[in-house]
Chains A and B, each alone.
Chain A
Amino acid sequence: MKGFIGEFEELVLLTIASLAEDAYGVAIKESIEKRADRSISIGALHSTITRLEEKGYLKSWLGEPTQERGGRRKRYFEVTHQGKIELHNMKALRDELWKLSKATLSLAK
């Protein structure tokens, strides 16, 4: 089955990919908020991340203790191979649909 992930999940996955080495909770949240211009709650974000982890699209590890977070460690995320396949699938599906609906979606009047 293609397109197993939801819109927000896709957004999170892509953002994590875009952040590369620096993908942890706050950074992901701020990146999405800035780019997509919408405010998201931390609870919703972590829930989605947890789901993606369960589906096997993400993996995570704890970083070194940091000063600014009261000595607490960050959890970093990375897209797994399976996650990448899923993103490709999603994109392929989209591209195909875009190609098919080129005429109707044209913005020219």
Chain B
Amino acid sequence: MKHSIKPPRLADRIFTWYCDTTMEDLHGDLEELFYHDLEYMSVRRAKLKYWQRVASLLFSYAVKKRKQKAAHHHYAFTSFHPAMLKNYFLIGIRSLSKHRFFTIVNVLGLAVGMSISLLLIAFMSFLWRYDTFHVNKDRMYRVISVVTDKQRTDPLATAPVAVAQKLGEEYTGIEEVIRINSTLTAEASYKDKEIPLEGYYVDSNFLQVFTFPLLKGNIATVLSKPNSIILTEAAASKMFNTEDPIGKVITMGEQDFEITGILKNIPKNSHMQFEVLASYQTLLQSTKFNSAQSTDSWVDFRKSYIYLLLPAYHNTDAIEAYLNKVSAPIYAKEKNLSATFELQALNDIAPGRDLRYSIGPAWDYASLSIFIFLTILILLPACFNYANISISRALKRMKEIGLRKVMGGQRDQIFLQFIMETVIITMIALVFAYYIFTLVRSEFLSMLADRVGMDLSTDFYTIAYFILFALFVGLVAGIIPALYFARLTPIQALKTKPVSKGFSRISFRKFLIVSQFALSLGFIMGVVVVLNQYRHSLNHDFGFDQENILDVELQSANPQILRNEFAKLVSVQSISMSSHIAGTGASESIWLKDLHVTDSTEVYQMFVDERYISNLNLSLLAGNNFTEDIAQNKKHAIVNEEFLKTFGIKDPAHAIGQSYVLPGGDEITVSGVVKNFHYMPLRYPIKSFFFRYDSSRFQYANIKMITTDVFTSITEMESAWKMIAGEEKFTAQFFDDEIKETYAFYFVMVKMCGFLGLLAITISCLGLLGMVVFTVENRVKEVGVRKVMGASTTSIIVILSKDFMKLMSIAALIAIPLAYLFFDQVFVRMQYYHVPVGILEIVISLSLMFLLGLATIFSQTIRAARANPVDTLKCE
């Protein structure tokens, strides 16, 4: 019978592929039913039905059973016998120790790849345990706010105090409301001891809600009275050594506190890190805190955190809705700002969303994902390397596998055998990876911003995670070779016909080597570019002198007295005063108005005295410097060139005498114009800026020194300082050091890029080494014949190395444009005054990569090319 309509081909194919030929009766049934259906159905429906039937058969017990029967010999084991596992283990160990070179290459590669993963695992396993020690952790929430002001919308970790007021007094169904104010950070003094302590003002119910155990003191009363304070054990021993601190009075920020209790030290996995806690009552009564205004304030978001303890059955949506309902009319009246509130569960704080003003270590998701991404970027190539090398060496194992199959070895059993072998390797690699991990751990910690809240020491759990991870890596790395070996048919295997020769078969390998080298090149370029950027930043002409200037923090010293005293010293040439240190941190800005225009313009400002300009060697383009007359100085400003541009003044001379209105309503007159200089770090462009004079704002004395003996002159200054400021510590730093420090983050980047680059290039070179050795081994005979026929050593080296050099060139061709685009367009533009990525950097990175790559290749090919053909050919 001939039919013009056939069953759907794909379904047919799938069925025959899955069921082999042993199920022709089922297949016949399918087809018969299909033609039956066709008699009273549309073709489409019949085909659909055919698909359904195929699916129903594929997953049916009938097919499963028949497949098992077909595949298994009657006496074959279907389960894994312990004896077989033992055998796999033994064979694995034997084959590893027999091919020592490849074992070493594999172990090293995997160890390097896994080392950074161990960092990540230790890091993550610590993060998972964040804030888990609080007994009430499932019922604790933080009120966070999303604030929209003129410029942008920001999620903040803070919330105004008025929210606490509202929730505490008017909302039922919240067990506890806790206010925390993080302004209690100051020098704490007791007798003659002075120690900086960090801490919060908290409500008296704080300790009942948060699980921070008290060692001494009564949990109900320690924080109930004004001016009571509790210290952590560590802070107490710093202050009092062995003395009993209870009842002692310490002074912090011009306020006396009585110590009422001692806390156990704060665990590192807490998102709050503090040393002292003072009662919130203190804050309410203190003079610097105008309570009438601040407790009602809905607009003050700074340093104020609100935590809630909810009953066991709670509805956070209702509280959020309530808050937003109450606050809406209040913010409707505000012109510049509005806010909405959300509740954040304690478990979601760290790791959590990226919030501004976070109270302690927060570990936001964005940076975590970058970390994870980088880890995978390093780990995956290492795994693929292993797979690559294993498959390329399949030839050596073919006979064994063939024999196993003939003796009744099942697919799954061969699969398990090779997975097991991989796991053995990863376990050995884990030991080395752990060693690398211990080496880089402290360095890594020091690069973290919030290192107080991180502990990378290993405990039982982390070790368990490490081992699980090694198992997992074994699975990932081993799955490709294991599948490959398991799929071999006995005939294929026993005939040992060469499955692949060098690169001829799998382009996947080429792709692997290319991508690894491209990645390494990217990291190398990162190091070179960042170093260059760093050098550029330091050598950049800031527009002022940095050498031989010592910046002394004034603290509470009187600028005039300090000037008089320090001027007496021989080493001091001149002294000026300033409110900021140019070219380092952020500058403050105010909104300045033109006399005639209503719009205001943002202008950066710095308060300096009349000697500052000459001291830093800034050049005055027009007008005059500040004078000795302090009263007059306050009305004057010295502007920069950019200022003139912004206000549309062409000639510097015309600017003199122009008046502007300050935010308070005071007028200020331009008395001079100074050449543009970098008052902020190079990351930011030079904007409108002016110098003003206000001796109450001076923070630093800039001392120009003329001396070669820095040490003695600083000691002299210190003794002079003792006379002026007494107890306060003399803090001074050289100007150029401070500038250098501003760019220290480049150093962190160099370290990071360098480390990752080192890992990447090591893995790439190991992978390459494996491939080269394999190719060379396979071509030993060919080389021998060539030599006999008169080929020179050089020509043989070229023949053997050609393929690999081609791959590296491709890697370079791919990586250079990508890395160039990334570094030139994205990375260096993070800094406004940057140096573009030049040819030189590319050449340096390239030659570094080729140097390492070629060294790897030649180390093997030269040896092969030099070999005596007699040795290689005599056995034929």
Interface residue ranges, A against B (CB under 8 Å)? 24-26, 29-30, 41-44, 46-47, 49-51, 54, 62, 66-70, 72-75
Is B56 in contact with A44, judged by CB distance below 8 angstroms?
yes
Is B57 in contact with A42, judged by CB distance below 8 angstroms?
yes
Name A63's closest neighbour in chain B (CB-CB).
B25
**With A and B bound together, what is the CA distance between A44 and B66 in angstroms?**
14
Min CB gap A33→B, angstroms? 11
**With A and B bound together, what is the CA distance between A74 and B27 in angstroms?**
9
CB of B31 within 8 Å of the partner chain:
yes
Min CB gap B763→A, angstroms? 49
Known pairs A43-B53, A67-B1, A68-B1; A25 contacts B26 (CB<8 A):
yes
Min CB gap A45→B, angstroms? 8
Is A43 in contact with B62, judged by CB distance below 8 angstroms?
yes
CB of B253 within 8 Å of the partner chain:
no
Known pairs A50-B66, A62-B25, A73-B24; A26 contacts B57 (CB<8 A):
no
**With A and B bound together, what is the CA distance between A62 and B28 in angstroms?**
12
Min CB gap A50→B, angstroms? 4
Is B35 in contact with A74, judged by CB distance below 8 angstroms?
no
**With A and B bound together, what is the CA distance between A50 and B64 in angstroms?**
10
Name B29's closest neighbour in chain A (CB-CB).
A25
Interface residues on B, range: 20 to 34
10 closest A-B pairs by beta carbon, nearest first, are A43-B56, A72-B28, A43-B60, A46-B62, A75-B25, A69-B28, A47-B61, A25-B29, A50-B62, A41-B56
Please give, as numbers and ranges, the residues of chain A lying within 8 Å of B30 by CB-CB distance.
42
Please give, as numbers and ranges, the residues of chain B lying within 8 Å of A25 by CB-CB distance.
25-26, 28-29
**With A and B bound together, what is the CA distance between A24 and B25 in angstroms?**
9
**With A and B bound together, what is the CA distance between A78 and B531 in angstroms?**
85
- Further contacts, 6 of them, CB under 8 A, given A26-B36, A73-B24: A42-B30, A50-B66, A67-B1, A72-B24, A72-B28, A75-B25
CB of B59 within 8 Å of the partner chain:
yes
Known pairs A43-B56, A69-B31; A51 contacts B61 (CB<8 A):
yes
**With A and B bound together, what is the CA distance between A29 and B30 in angstroms?**
11
Please give, as numbers and ranges, the residues of chain B lying within 8 Å of A44 by CB-CB distance.
56, 60
**With A and B bound together, what is the CA distance between A66 and B57 in angstroms?**
21
Is B28 in contact with A74, judged by CB distance below 8 angstroms?
yes
Q: Dominant SS at the B interface? A: helix
CB of B32 within 8 Å of the partner chain:
yes
Please give, as numbers and ranges, the residues of chain B lying within 8 Å of A41 by CB-CB distance.
52-53, 56
The answer, among B25, B62, B65, for a CB contact under 8 Å with A73, is B25
CB of B33 within 8 Å of the partner chain:
yes
Interface hub of B27, B28, B31, B58 (most chain A Cβ within 10 A): B28
Min CB gap A94→B, angstroms? 27
Min CB gap A15→B, angstroms? 15
**With A and B bound together, what is the CA distance between A30 and B36 in angstroms?**
10
Please give, as numbers and ranges, the residues of chain B lying within 8 Å of A47 by CB-CB distance.
60-62
Q: List 18 A-B contacts (CB under 8 A).
A: A25-B25, A26-B33, A29-B33, A30-B36, A41-B52, A41-B53, A42-B57, A43-B60, A46-B29, A46-B62, A47-B61, A50-B65, A66-B28, A67-B1, A68-B1, A70-B28, A72-B28, A73-B28
Please give, as numbers and ranges, the residues of chain A lying within 8 Å of B33 by CB-CB distance.
26, 29, 42
**With A and B bound together, what is the CA distance between A62 and B25 in angstroms?**
8
Is A72 in contact with B56, judged by CB distance below 8 angstroms?
no
Name A28's closest neighbour in chain B (CB-CB).
B29
Is A46 in contact with B26, judged by CB distance below 8 angstroms?
yes
CB within 8 Å of A: which of B12-63?
Answer: 24-33, 35-36, 52-53, 55-63
Min CB gap A31→B, angstroms? 13
Please give, as numbers and ranges, the residues of chain B lying within 8 Å of A66 by CB-CB distance.
28
Please give, as numbers and ranges, the residues of chain B lying within 8 Å of A75 by CB-CB distance.
25
Min CB gap A53→B, angstroms? 9
Min CB gap B621→A, angstroms? 91
Min CB gap A5→B, angstroms? 15
**With A and B bound together, what is the CA distance between A72 and B36 in angstroms?**
16
**With A and B bound together, what is the CA distance between A42 and B60 in angstroms?**
9
Min CB gap B6→A, angstroms? 9
**With A and B bound together, what is the CA distance between A72 and B15 in angstroms?**
14
**With A and B bound together, what is the CA distance between A51 and B64 in angstroms?**
12
Is A46 in contact with B1, judged by CB distance below 8 angstroms?
no
Is B25 in contact with A42, judged by CB distance below 8 angstroms?
no
Name B12's closest neighbour in chain A (CB-CB).
A70
Min CB gap A34→B, angstroms? 12
**With A and B bound together, what is the CA distance between A44 and B1 in angstroms?**
29
Please give, as numbers and ranges, the residues of chain A lying within 8 Å of B27 by CB-CB distance.
70, 72
**With A and B bound together, what is the CA distance between A73 and B52 in angstroms?**
22
**With A and B bound together, what is the CA distance between A30 and B53 in angstroms?**
14
Please give, as numbers and ranges, the residues of chain A lying within 8 Å of B66 by CB-CB distance.
50
**With A and B bound together, what is the CA distance between A17 and B35 in angstroms?**
26
**With A and B bound together, what is the CA distance between A62 and B55 in angstroms?**
24
CB within 8 Å of A: which of B658-714?
Answer: none
The answer, among A51, A54, A72, for a CB contact under 8 Å with B25, is A72
Name A51's closest neighbour in chain B (CB-CB).
B61
Please give, as numbers and ranges, the residues of chain A lying within 8 Å of B65 by CB-CB distance.
50, 54
**With A and B bound together, what is the CA distance between A47 and B61 in angstroms?**
5
Please give, as numbers and ranges, the residues of chain B lying within 8 Å of A73 by CB-CB distance.
24-25, 28
**With A and B bound together, what is the CA distance between A86 and B55 in angstroms?**
32
Min CB gap A70→B, angstroms? 5
Name B65's closest neighbour in chain A (CB-CB).
A50
